[in-house]
Amino acid sequence: MSFYFFPRNKTFWIYHGSVLLLLSIVQAAVIMLWRESVMFNAVAGLLWLPLFTLATLYYRYLYKHRHWNQLGTSKNILIVLLYSTASSFLVTLLMIGCTFPFFWDEVKQLEEVVKQQATLTEITVQHIIGNSLQTQIFISGWIFIYISITTKQRIVETELTNLRLQNSLKEAELSNLTNQLNPHFLFNALNNIRFIIYEDQHKADLMLTALADVLRYSLESSQRPKVRLEQELAIVNRYIDIIKIQMEKRLTFKLEISAQLHNCLIPPMLLQLLIENAIKHGIDHLRAGGAVTVKAENIHQKLHFYIANSAPENKGKSVHTMGIGLKNIEQRLALLYGDAASFHIKHQDSEFSVHLTIPCEKDE
């Protein structure tokens, strides 16, 4: 990032100019009240403003290029004191050197000079000391304000960078989890078609058409974190069309979801994967087949999904074998919703069920 000695940030000059304007108003008020050597004080004050600006800008330059922001507080305080002392002395010397030769007669008429009957050297030293201390206070104040503002900006920028990194990581993790789902589904669907393609070409054609719809949805929806429930249900029905052609009467599928929930948003492929797991790890192991039931309801702005499927009596031991797919879903929910989502599985007698809840977000 380019660095300019004179900042190109308008905000900087607005704040700095406001400070100079305030100082000028205070200085003008003092001069008008004092009513002594008005011209000398006015010219000295006007000359002081650009010198003060150059002194503060040079500190800003050193602060950036010497990376003083990386130093500890005690070292920074020491640097500020040393710099403000040296720069205020230099600013005062330049100011006095440029004004005294032209206003020496007015300076000699100052009340405190007349009373003390001071010499040229004494007058000069007094002005240098007095103005240096005053300038040092202003330069130190400006520097401490500048350090505070830039430190706060760095903290905000660091937090924003961390948030961007976290979002990038979150997107990468979500993409990785979604990519794990798609090949798994594709393999199962193609394997299903393989069983039927030589037996009934018409059924195989229907299955391929349905599979194309599912894959198109899978590819398109993987680019979005959430989709409408209506879209997900449409692809679930296409998936069930594929499975029913293969399993025929061995599968009973029930979908009990009100149309009022169709505009709710859910993670893509969420229900499809749960139903796929229910069939692969439940119905496929039952000679007589079984049922898969999907229900959803909105309770206190929480979307509750219930997926239940028939399962063998000893299926409890093999829950871990289908843990990869379910764990992927659990991780996706955690990334998208945090603690606002919940995911529970239960195996009781000859039924395996999943109950998940997510915030009810609607696509208006």
How many contiguous H segments (helices) and E segments (strands) does the chain have? 9, 7
Is 313 inside a domain boundary? Answer: yes
Tens of pLDDT along 70-120?
Answer: 888 888 899 999 999 999 999 888 888 787 777 666 665 654 554 556 566
Task: Give yes or no: residues 341 and 217 share one domain.
Answer: yes
Phi (first) and psi of residue 226, to 5 degrees: -145, 150
- CA pair distance 310, 284, nearest whole angstrom: 10
Q: Is residue 311 part of a domain?
A: yes
Q: What percent of the chain has pLDDT over 90?
A: 24
**197-241 confidence digits (pLDDT tens):** 777 788 778 888 888 888 888 778 777 888 999 999 999 999 898
Q: Are residues 105 and 215 in the same domain?
A: no
In whole angstroms, what is the distance from residue 32 CA to residue 259 CA?
A: 80
Residue 319 is predicted with a pLDDT of: 45
Examine the fold and report which residue of 117, 140, 163 is the final residue of a domain before the chain moves on. Answer: 163
Mean pLDDT of 19-23: 84
In a domain, 69, yes or no: yes
Residue span of the structural domain in which 146 resides: 10-163
**Is the per-residue pLDDT at 327 higher than 50?**
yes
Q: What is the mean pLDDT of residues 39-65?
A: 85
- Same domain flag for 27 and 125: yes
Q: Is the pLDDT of residue 69 over 70?
A: yes
Q: What percent of the chain has pLDDT over 70?
A: 82
Q: Which of 120, 144, 163 is the last residue of a domain?
A: 163
Name the domain boundary from 163, 184, 213: 163
Higher pLDDT residue, 134 or 4?
Answer: 134
Domain membership of residue 187 (yes or no) is: no
User: Burial code of 274-302, b = ≥16 C-beta within 10 A, e = fewer?
Assistant: bbbbbbbbbbeebeebbbbbbebeeeeee
Q: Do 211 and 354 reside in the same domain of the chain?
A: yes
Q: Are 135 and 255 contained in the same domain?
A: no
- Residue 306 within a domain: yes
Position 174 scores a pLDDT of 62
- Ranking 32-46, 50-64, 177-191, 221-235 by mean pLDDT, the lowest is 177-191
Give yes or no for a contact between 97 and 57, defined as CB atoms under 8 angstroms apart: no
150 and 231 inside one domain: no
Q: Are residues 148 and 21 in the same domain?
A: yes
316 lies in the same domain as 239? yes
Same domain flag for 218 and 314: yes
User: Is 156 inside any structural domain?
Assistant: yes
Are 142 and 256 contained in the same domain? no
What is the number of domains present in the chain? 2
Do residues 143 and 291 share a domain? Answer: no
The amino acid occupying position 98 is C
User: How many whole angstroms separate alpha carbon 319 and alpha carbon 329?
Assistant: 15
| CATH number of the domain residue 318 falls in | 3.30.565.10
Q: Are residues 145 and 292 in the same domain?
A: no
Is 179 contained in some domain?
no
Q: What is the DSSP string of 227-296?
A: EEHHHHHHHHHHHHHHHHHHHGGGEEEEEE--GGGTTBEE-TTHHHHHHHHHHHHTGGG-TT-EEEEEEE
Q: Would 181 be classed as within a structural domain?
A: no
- Per-residue pLDDT reduced to its tens digit, 164-207: 767 666 666 666 666 555 565 577 667 767 777 777 788 778 88
Rounded CA-CA distance 127/92 in Å is: 8
**For the chain, what is the mean pLDDT?**
81
pLDDT higher than threshold 70 for residue 1: no
Among 106-110, 144-148, 257-261, 313-317, the least confident range: 313-317
